[in-house]
Amino acid sequence: MSRYDVEDLVRDAFQGHGSEMDASQRGLVDAVWTRVRRRRRQARTVALGATATAVLTAAGLVPVLTRDHPPGPAQVAERRAAEDRAATADWRWESALGAEIRVPDSWGVNDYGCLMTDKPSVVRAGGGSRFACLTPEAATKEVAFLSTRAEHHQLPVALPGRPVTVDGEPAVRTEGRLPDGRWAGSVAVDSRQVALTVRTLDRDTTRRILDSFRLVEIDHAGCATRRPTLGPVSETERAPAARGSFVSAAPTSIGICRYPQWEHTVPGEDRLLGGVRLTGVEATGLAAALNAARPGGNVTHRGVSCVRPDPGQYDALLLVTGPDGKVTRVRLRSSGCAEIGLDDGARRVQLTITLLNQIMRPLHDGYGVSTDVDIPR
């Protein structure tokens, strides 16, 4: 049962089981149906009354519903585990800004704005060149935006909305059909400054994406919502260096966590822009490239005065999980003019354009490099 669609459940239950009520309940059933028909002509923002719930509960058709007791951590964890088990292979998680959604696996990433195609895409945290040119959005374009509340991608028309709760936080959800025929909706959580907007060609697809929206502190790739501050690693964590390699040569996975480029970060707005998890040949290929990198950081051009960045500032974080389950955290700096390169808290290696492309390509996000530092190809 969708945690949002209580009203639809009640209506569908009556439609499918109303005939099973015994004669003593028919008057109540008829009264409820009259109320439902009247509410269809209104703005569908008021919950069904206690009479409808009482009748259905007495008939054994639905459990008792309450908003007074939000689910605890154990219940949330159990629900999410059930969602993960129920997920099909042709849908995947996408994350940004402390929120996650499921989208069809065939969808692209950040294919929006300048020169966008008419293919489906998820757009994460401002991704896509929205304002670089006036490429129109096709009426057949399917898209899901995960954005800050301030950048909330408004729908072209107002849709019916209702208050909901997402992981204990108050939110507003809208749903409806656009004039161009697409099914659309949104979920906005003001307290977390994050919003989801969806437009697809199919009502079930829109609803499924909206239903999947959840708030997280650690996403599916292992990425923290807020950029972690990393200090020197312990001797135990330096095991790959002791073997002569920068990271494990045979990782089980590599998480890539993208944060705002540190010198352009607005105070307090250091939230995750996107996270992906590599496995198999993608993970081993990236590990080989990291281990082949030249020791030491990149060289600053002569005459350039640089301020050393705060240790907590970097542009991306790599989470390299070895066969023994230990995770090596590697910071990537490609912006600014000091300490450009990669480090694990114990050693640094040099960044090249080729290596940067290999790291950033899976994210499908824009990135830049410093012009004050020698970054070989």
Q: Answer yes or no: are the C-beta atoms of 124 and 116 closer than 8 Å.
A: no
Q: Place 229 in a pLDDT band, splitting at 50, 70 and 90.
A: confident
Where is pLDDT greater, at 34 or 136? Answer: 136
Q: State the Cα–Cα distance between residues 117 and 121, nearest whole angstrom.
A: 9
Checking if the pLDDT of 253 tops 90, the result is: yes
Q: What percent of the chain has pLDDT over 70?
A: 60
To the nearest 10 degrees (0 to 180), the angle between helices 26-40 and 6-17 is: 130
User: Among 123-127, 196-200, 361-365, where is mean pLDDT lowest?
Assistant: 123-127
Checking if the pLDDT of 359 tops 50, the result is: yes
Closest of 375, 276, 266 to residue 316, by C-alpha = 276
309: Cβ contacts below 8 Å, ≥ 6 apart: 262, 263, 333, 336, 338, 339
Checking if the pLDDT of 175 tops 50, the result is: yes
Arithmetic mean of pLDDT over the chain? 76
To the nearest 10 degrees (0 to 180), the angle between helices 353-360 and 280-291 is: 150
* Residue ranges covered by each domain of the chain: 6-58, 73-215, 236-363
Where is pLDDT greater, at 251 or 335? Answer: 251
Mean pLDDT value of segment 139-167: 85
What angle is formed at CA 132 by the lines to CA 130 and CA 138, rounded to 5 degrees? 50
Where is pLDDT greater, at 164 or 15? Answer: 164
251: Cβ contacts below 8 Å, ≥ 6 apart: 283, 284, 287, 320, 321, 322, 323
Cα 212 from chain centroid? 10
pLDDT in tens, 122-138: 999 766 555 557 788 99
Annotate 170-231 with three-state secondary structure. EEEEEEEECCCCCEEEEEEEHHHCEEEEEEECCHHHHHHHHHHCEECCECCCCCECECCCCC
Q: Place 153 in a pLDDT band, splitting at 50, 70 and 90.
A: low
73-215 carries CATH number 2.60.40? no
Q: Place 272 in a pLDDT band, splitting at 50, 70 and 90.
A: very high
Where is pLDDT greater, at 90 or 15? Answer: 90
pLDDT at position 21, please?
42
pLDDT in tens, 280-316: 999 999 999 999 998 887 766 555 566 665 656 789 9
Most confident of 114-118, 140-144, 228-232: 140-144
Phi and psi (nearest 5°) for 309?
-70, 155
Token couple for 137: 């959005």
Q: What percent of the chain has pLDDT over 90?
A: 46
Q: In the block, which residue shows the tokens 């692209």?
A: 108
Q: State the Cα–Cα distance between residues 31 and 39, nearest whole angstrom.
A: 13
Q: Answer yes or no: are the C-beta atoms of 222 and 233 closer than 8 Å.
A: no
pLDDT at position 84, please?
62
